[in-house]
Structure 1
């Protein structure tokens, strides 16, 4: 399927009229590691009816992209880890063809907001580390050749494990073994005015260290904790983000914007999981984003957030709670109340 010029114009029209697109700071991740999900056109209807204007999908699935085409919803589209060697090692025209064959053949470029190149590669999938920045640069050159580099931004979501120090937040430091690749990534993001994407899960920090991390602190309900610079924190979400900011400052890139490419809380599978805790956590994250609250190091600076996950994913590997991050049930109704606008 090829997108024609009329569809592109229609998409421009939708985007120009929709306040959901221009003003949205909270999106959602659309994971598909499940056996029982609604068909993609139904998913798009659920998103539209709930005012969700930005969505992260983890790979460029043709059926999914076709369903979003013309919907007015903008996408963060994942470039899978396994394609990075080919993107990095071939000429730029290979990246241009890959974009055309896998993305723009199914959805207008006007609906693509970000390309998330790889996911949590540093440390978690280190084989692909040498290919990451070369892939990003080749894809960017391809976007430049298509005159799309200003409207589509490239980045690569990273997990908190890329930090060797995160407490207090002012001590945030990147793993020294990653500094060469991390510095190259940060330099690219700085030069192209692109965000640093982070996957932030205070729930996992609590699960891994319940002795030292209180449940109130991860649920935005803790007394203020002061770091060594006299900055107060009452939640781990802010503290983690400011740890990333401090780490970027140490490398000379403190001005780079953050985008939270994943965050969420499970509703089952662990004693601290549950509907109420999930509601409290996500509600606080959403309110902070929509209110441009920012963090103690960046007060009043709005930050785009993508909640994880649209539905439960029953085929996920790992601990049981990994399967229960869904905000919506399979009927399309919310399983707990959280507003996106």
Structure 2
């Protein structure tokens, strides 16, 4: 009786919530990044069949690759499509009509706009390619006007994926603040997101935070396995993922911007390449991410507000530059076999 009564009350409360708020948000989708920096990948048609057989309904493409777009066309899989950094000057310095022509010829001629959910205008520009930073917001403004011309400004949202290291301070989360050197770009960027009701996109990797700061970040805290709760302004944090997302929310609020959603455009854990990179740890990390997403867990600062996530990535990419870890993030082998057990729903 002592067990049944709390369960009954919980279900009753949940029922009342649905009566009072019939439009509560559905679970945020879990997606996957389809990177193609490799010389041994299966053709896009095979990759798409793999996505479908695993009920993966959202994909990020790092460029509007024609073969990938054609293969995804008609599948119902929703897309986050990146515009390569080097295209931003021409988009920024031209007219909205040029952006309209570019969208139609490069993307919409290959796949229906109904499958495009987001367009990321560049990737990690502020830190990786700062030369392109001044072109970011002007590009987004021209592209938004182009989408307005097509009547697509509400169904396709424009943003730009940034590394979580745009934060100069992330601990504790309530002290989250952006790098002051980026302010001249960050503020108009956040204003654009607010005006267009678009999300902030972040590439978030607790793995790299852990291996770069093992004296301050525990492996268990990075993997969602910590039994310790770190309290910050009466909010309890048990993992680095939540802490980083909320640090970004606090940073936006510190600049006067509240209510901007956060989309995790990349996150993952490598299976090889160095210490603590293993299939076992990848299964723990990505499995926990999926469970949190499909359960609409949210974060301590935004409980119950699901965070959309794109896992990185579909396959290992053997031509990736950088440390060895970079080549070992694939959830699947090129033969289509899972590198470790994971369920996407």
Quickly name the TM-score band, shorter chain normalised.
Answer: over 0.9
Displacement of 1:180 after TM fit? 2.1
Q: With structure 2 as the length reference, what TM-score do the two structures score?
A: 0.91
Match of residue 105 from structure 1: 109
Displacement of 1:288 after TM fit? 0.6
Distance 1:325 1:292 in 2: 25
Cα pair 1:155 1:194 within 8 Å, conserved: yes
Displacement of 1:24 after TM fit? 5.7
Cα pair 1:169 1:227 within 8 Å, conserved: no
Match of residue 127 from structure 1: 131
Distance 2:163 2:205 in 1: 9
* 2:69 corresponds to which of 47, 55, 65: 65
Displacement of 1:253 after TM fit? 1.2
Displacement of 1:141 after TM fit? 0.3
Match of residue 56 from structure 2: 52
SS in 2 for 1:314: coil
Distance 2:273 2:63 in 1: 26
Distance 2:71 2:161 in 1: 25
Q: Do structure 1's residue 40 and structure 2's residue 44 form an aligned pair?
A: yes
Cα pair 2:279 2:340 within 8 Å, conserved: yes
Task: In structure 2, list runs of 5 or more residues that go unmatched.
Answer: 1-25
Q: Could you say what the CA RMSD is over the residues aligned between the two structures, in angstroms?
A: 1.1
Match of residue 324 from structure 1: 328
5 Å-filtered alignment, 1:140-179, equals 140-179=144-183
Displacement of 1:170 after TM fit? 0.5
Cα pair 1:24 1:54 within 8 Å, conserved: no
**Matched residue count:** 320
Displacement of 1:267 after TM fit? 0.2
Distance 1:297 1:270 in 2: 34
Cα pair 2:27 2:293 within 8 Å, conserved: no
Distance 1:338 1:185 in 2: 36
Match of residue 241 from structure 2: 237
Match of residue 78 from structure 2: 74
SS in 1 for 2:120: strand
Moved more, 163-172 or 116-125: 116-125
5 Å-filtered alignment, 1:238-257, equals 238-257=242-261
Task: In structure 1, list runs of 5 or more residues that go unmatched.
Answer: 1-21
Q: Cα deviation per residue 1:30-80 (whole Å; 9 max; x = unaligned)?
A: 000001001000111000010001100000111111111111111100000
* 2:201 corresponds to which of 197, 201, 204: 197
Match of residue 17 from structure 2: none
**Rg (Cα) greater in structure:** 2
Displacement of 1:271 after TM fit? 1.4
Cα pair 1:24 1:53 within 8 Å, conserved: no
Moved more, 268-277 or 224-233: 224-233
Distance 1:72 1:300 in 2: 26
